[in-house]
Amino acid sequence: MNTSAPVAVVTGASRGIGAAVALWLARRGAALALVARTESGLVQVADRVEMLGGRALVIEADIAGARSCGQIIQTTLKNFKRLDVLVNNAGIFQPMARVVDIDPKQYSYNIAVNLLGPVYLTAAALPFLRKSGGRIINVSSGAALHPISAGSAYCASKAALNQFTRVVAVEEPSVTAIAVRPGVVDTRMQDLLRTEGPEKMPPDEAAYYVDLKKNGQLETPEVPARSIAWLALYAPKQWSGRYVNYDDPPISEPALSLFGNDLGGI
């Protein structure tokens, strides 16, 4: 067992970008606490992590609550004895509704998952990330800057996540905190935009999301995940507080050099 390998918590790790981040990190021998609400998906990812040379710990949990977030960090420390990286990737788009039509319960849950979960996990992890000079990678969205009709909860939570990242960078100089835009990725979130968008968005905006898929413009999760994994391991301290793009050459080029382009291999 390599006790010097990095230890990372990855949320939303049962599929999509989170799973791909975990698999890229596994190639570097990382010990990974894989967090999601669905254990079956996590077990499948954990098996692949082990096959790639990493170590995996499955944690079935909902990050919407502070107690659950604290338990995630404590379980990780109990099993791996240290913490070097926190990747706050879990996120939801729902409720998809105009502001005048929102359901308060659904809206509050969106904010709890997309913003408060990362806040609670960060608070619980910081004492240990200070010791390791660790990194926090918050997976944000272009929606933090660009409004999406019927997506106010998602847009607002991601904008707040960016500012939270900046505050952490100011308060915690020994820790590197980065927010990253992963691009337009072929995930279940895009499925939702294509299926529900025509009913809840202006026609031209709904057509945009349909055309992204039709025209092959959606990125596979493995590509932005490769950049996120590189940031988790090597993001320079002077970048702390920044909101960066996954395809910025200073990120995407060293990520490609480190991990290679064998997307099917993960």
Strand locations in the chain (E): 7-11, 31-36, 55-60, 85-88, 135-139, 176-181, 243-245
Identify the CA nearest to 192 among candidates 6, 41, 16, 56.
Answer: 16
Cα-flanking dihedrals φ and ψ of residue 209, to 5°? -70, -35
Does domain 7-183+221-265 fall under CATH 3.40.50.720? My reply is: yes
Mean pLDDT split into 10-residue runs, the chain, 266 residues: 82 97 97 95 96 97 97 98 98 95 97 98 98 98 96 98 98 98 93 93 94 94 97 98 98 97 74
Please report where in the chains the tokens 């490769």 appear, as a residue.
226
Q: Which residue of the set 107, 109, 120, 154 is catalytic?
A: 154
Q: How many CB atoms are closer than 10 A to CB 64?
A: 20
Q: How far is Cα 40 from Cα 189, in angstroms, rounded to an integer?
A: 20
227 is catalytic: no
Catalytic pick from 14, 141, 152, 158?
Answer: 158
The pLDDT value recorded for residue 2 is 56
pLDDT score of 156? 98
pLDDT at position 265 is 66
In b/e form, how buried is each residue of 176-204, taking b as 16+ CB within 10 angstroms?
bbbbbbbbbbbbebbebbbebbeebbeee
Q: Give yes or no: 174 in active site.
A: no
Q: What pLDDT score does 262 carry?
A: 83
Q: Is residue 158 flagged as an active site residue?
A: yes
